[in-house]
Structure 1
Amino acid sequence: MRSAPSIAFDYRPSAVMAGATVLVALAAALAPWASAAPLALRTALSALALAGAAIVLRRYCRPPFRRIVRGVSGWRLVDREGGEHAAVLHSHRRLGSLIALDWRCAPRTHFRVLLTPDNLDADTRRRLVLLLARGEPPGIDAIV
């Protein structure tokens, strides 16, 4: 297998994670109904759980960046309109088949992604893991 000094891939949210979020939201909405709380409080808690889940799912399913690129000049995030933004890979974690990446695009701006087997093909995943395992010298990802 060859080394992966550069990589580019389209990012789309995981349908499995969105489905899991819906299931957790439904469980949270049903939980107050198993208590002896007043009807108004149970209704309010259920509505709050569903509204919160709707907001989170909307943000998750409409990410600000659609493409992730790592080249000679560092990490670049491409937004919906095609504009490129320099980014610094702030952290990355791997838990089994999940890869969590966190970028800083500007001061106080973060973009976090969770890559699962359903939103990144196996070859790109393997190349990304290799790239992340190589490490990088400090300062290579400075925002220009």
Structure 2
Amino acid sequence: MTSAPAIGFDYRPSRLTGGLLGIVTALGLVAVALSGAPLWLKLVIAAGSLALAFVATRRLTLSRIAGVGYGPDGWTLYQADRTPLPARLLSHRVIGGCVLLRLKTDHATEVLLLAPDNSDADIRRRLRMRLAAQSAVAEAL
């Protein structure tokens, strides 16, 4: 049996997560505004929520990862300067047409969302099939 070809693709953060974060933040601010808390507490909570949303959005948009490779030797993440980082898959989830990957390098844990706005449908399909086959093998052991 021949091995499956390697999967490689460029990665950029999805705008979908930023949009969802904005919606959740706006709903949280509405909830705080409609609560019965004193005005000073509403202002503190609103300011804290906005600051945390800003930090999370900045963290999402400044990804260190520019590319991903998955082949017989395992996972490799490529930084912006194209230096390779060997990685190990911690977990994956398929949510609708999106694939969420948690990969561990020597330095950090990277969470990558492959959505329709930042990856090709064929790449996501091939990746879902390969991950499903890998999970079936792991369950059989």
- State how far apart, in whole Å, the 1-side matches of 2:7 and 2:65 are: 16
Q: Deviations over 1:2-59 (max 9, x none)?
A: x843111111122122111111112212321112211111001001111100111111
Unaligned runs of 5+ in 2: none
Residue by residue, what CA displacement relative to the aligned partner does 1:68-114 show, whole Å, maximum 9, x if unpaired?
A: 0113332110112221100011111112212111111026x211112
Asked whether the 8 Å contact 2:98–2:124 carries over to 1, the reply is no
What pairs with 1:87-126 in structure 2 (closer than 5 Å)?
Answer: 87-106=87-106, 109-126=108-125
Distance apart, 1:124 and its partner CA: 1.1
Alignment of 1:11 with 2:16, yes or no, is no
TM-score by length of 2: 0.86
Letter of the aligned partner of 1:112 in structure 2?
V
Partner of 2:44 in structure 1? 44
Match status 1:65 vs 2:44: no
RMSD of aligned Cα (Å): 1.9
1:24 aligned partner: 24
- TM normalised by structure 1 equals 0.84
Determine the C-alpha separation between the residues in 2 that align with 1:18 and 1:89: 24
Distance in 2, Cα, partners of 1:125 & 1:101? 11
Aligned residues: 135
Q: Which amino acid aligns with 2:7?
A: I
C-alpha separation between the residues in 1 aligned to 2:27 and 2:56?
A: 16
Q: Which runs of 4+ in 1 moved over 3 A?
A: none
Identity of aligned residues (%): 36
